[in-house]
Amino acid sequence: MKTRRGSPALPPLQLLRLLLLLLPLPGASTGPYKPVIIVHGLFDAPKQFMKLTEIIQKEHPGTLVVPISLYDNYASLTPMWKQVQGFGSKINSIMNMYPDGVHLLCFSQGGLVCRAVLSTMPHHNVHTFISLSSPQAGQYGDTDAKYLWWIFHGCLKKEVYHICYHKLGKKVSICDYWNDPHHRPDYLKNNDFLALLNGDKPHSNMTAWRDNFLRIKKLVLIGGPDDGVITPWQSSHFGFYDSNEEVVEMRNQTFYRKDTFGLKTLDARGDVSVCVQPGVKHTSWHSNFTVFRTCMEKWLT
């Protein structure tokens, strides 16, 4: 998630460069590196990823980097399954042009969009899935920028479940991954996105979704204690609160132990990389060269 409300218009030259990035040519050569598809987070758009695009292309010359322009800015509040459908269509069209495989780099809310795309898309060819500061186990808490205050009209975190676990919550993306540890029965009954994606609520597609997700070769989880938005920050590594708001780490989560969507299998294969980077604020993950060099670079080949 990202809390910046707006940005000035891009200068014409930068806008042209961005448009060129968004127009991959069928059969175009990407040199020795696979294409990198970027999916933005809440209140974001492709222009926030120009710095990361420049870093990738400088360090890995010839790489095709495609930040997808869809559900940008305030439209990112669109319900998650609708976003999954839209982004999935865009991602699929790019993958079809590059049969040797692509990488998927997804930020914040976009990391959940991408995981749902990977789970529901048979025969995808995503090699590495980088989840960059994404609330993979859910969100419970306000942020440094107090986004709950203005999105939910002054509600505190302990009150948001009244909105998210009722009909109104079906219209706001954040509610699709709001995981209140004090109202677990309400979450399981009313959440039709994260509870299904994590296998918290059994459903008929679990086996197929698990098989689809396990097609990836590497899962890279990036986050850190100074993020200021993802709460708890360990959710970026599949950790989350118990009913006492104590963080339970990934390997002790029920969805890991039961291997409901393939996370335990990936880990047993040695294909889960967890990168903890202190000192990085949420809106800086995609412009920080140290984060790229330390957590991403070796997987984007």
Find where tokens 């040797």 sit: 100
Total-model pTM = 0.88
- Residue 284 within any structural domain of the chain: yes
- Residue 69 within any structural domain of the chain: yes
Contact (Cβ atoms closer than 8 angstroms) between residue 129 and residue 113: no
Catalytic residue among 108, 131, 134, 173: 108
- Residue 290 within any structural domain of the chain: yes
- Residue 104 within any structural domain of the chain: yes
Catalytic residue among 103, 183, 282, 286: 282
- Residue 166 within any structural domain of the chain: no
Q: Which residues pair with 222 in a beta bridge?
A: 132, 275
Catalytic residue among 227, 235, 236, 237: 227
**Considering only CA atoms, which of 126, 132, 84 is closest in space to residue 235?**
132
- Based on the residue annotation, tell me whether 237 is a catalytic residue of this protein: no
For residue 188, the SS3 value is helix
Whether residue 26 has a cis bond before it, omega within 30° of 0: no
Query: For residue 282, how many other CB atoms are within 10 A of its CB?
Result: 25
Domain count, the chain: 1
Give the domain CATH number at 81: 3.40.50.1820
- Based on the residue annotation, tell me whether 72 is a catalytic residue of this protein: no
- Residue 154 within any structural domain of the chain: no
- Based on the residue annotation, tell me whether 226 is a catalytic residue of this protein: no
Find where tokens 């990391």 sit: 111
Environment class of residue 23 by beta-carbon count within 10 Å: exposed (0-12), middle (13-18) or buried (19+)?
A: exposed
**pLDDT for 141:** 84
Q: Average pLDDT for consecutive 10-residue bins of the chain (301 residues)?
A: 46 52 46 94 96 98 97 96 98 96 98 98 97 98 60 70 86 95 97 97 97 98 97 98 97 98 98 98 97 98 95
Where b means 16+ CB within 10 Å and e means fewer, 236-260 reads: bbbbbbeeeeeebebeebebbeeeb
- Please state the φ and ψ torsions of residue 130, each to the nearest 5 degrees: -100, 115
**Considering only CA atoms, which of 110, 144, 141, 137 is closest in space to residue 1?**
110
**pLDDT for 3:** 43
- Residue 280 within any structural domain of the chain: yes
**Domain carrying residue 66:** 32-140+192-299
**pLDDT for 148:** 58
- Residue 159 within any structural domain of the chain: no
Contact (Cβ atoms closer than 8 angstroms) between residue 163 and residue 141: no
